[in-house]
Chain A
Amino acid sequence: MGTVPIELVLVRQAAEYLTQAIFLVDEGGTVLFFNEAAAALLGRPFEDVAPQNIADWLDQLEICDGDGRPVPGTAVPIAQARRDRRPAHAVYEVRCLDGEVRRLAITSVPLIGQGGVLHGAMSLMWDAGGDGGL
Chain B
Amino acid sequence: MRVRLLGTRGSLFSPRPGSSRYGGNTACVEVRPAEGGLVVLDAGSGTRVVRLPEGIERVDVLLTHLHMDHIVGLGFFAALYRPDLEVHLWGPPSTTETLHERLTRYLSPPLFPVRLRDMPCRLELHDTPRGRFELPGVSVQADRICHPGLTVGYRLEADGSSLAYLPDHEPALGVPPGRFPREPEWTSGFALLAGVDLAIHDAQYTDEEYVSRQGWGHCTLSHALALAAAAGVRHLVPFHHDPDHDDDLLDEIYAAAVVPPAADGTPLRITPAVEGAEFLLSGPVVPAAPAPSVR
Contacts and interface: CB of A to CB of B under 8 A. Distances in A.
Interface residues on B, range: 20 to 34
A5 B144 contact: yes
A60 interface: no
Given A5-B144, A114-B150, A12 B93 contact: no
Contacts of B143: 3, 6
Give the secondary structure class of B's interface.
loop
Given A6-B145, A6-B146, A17-B174, A1 B185 contact: yes
A7 B144 contact: yes
Interface in A86-134: 114-115, 117
B137 to A, nearest CB: 26
Nearest to A12: B186
A3 B131 CA distance: 11
A13 interface: yes
Interface size class of A (residues with CB under 8 A): 10 to 19
A115 B185 CA distance: 22
A115 B174 contact: no
Contacts of A2: 185, 191
A10 interface: yes
B174 A6 contact: no
Contacts of A7: 144
A13 B146 CA distance: 11
Given A2-B185, A6-B146, A7-B144, A114 B190 contact: no
Interface in B1-28: none
B185 A114 contact: no
Contacts of A14: 174
Contact of B186 (A9, A114, A117): A9
| Among all A-B residue pairs, the 3 with the closest Cβ atoms | A13-B174, A6-B144, A3-B191
Given A6-B143, A6-B144, 9 more contacts: A3-B143, A3-B184, A5-B144, A6-B188, A13-B173, A14-B174, A16-B176, A114-B94, A114-B95
Interface of A: 1-7, 9-10, 12-14, 16-17, 114-115, 117
17 contacts: A2-B185, A2-B191, A3-B190, A3-B191, A4-B185, A6-B146, A9-B146, A9-B186, A9-B187, A10-B173, A12-B186, A14-B174, A16-B176, A17-B174, A114-B95, A115-B93, A117-B130
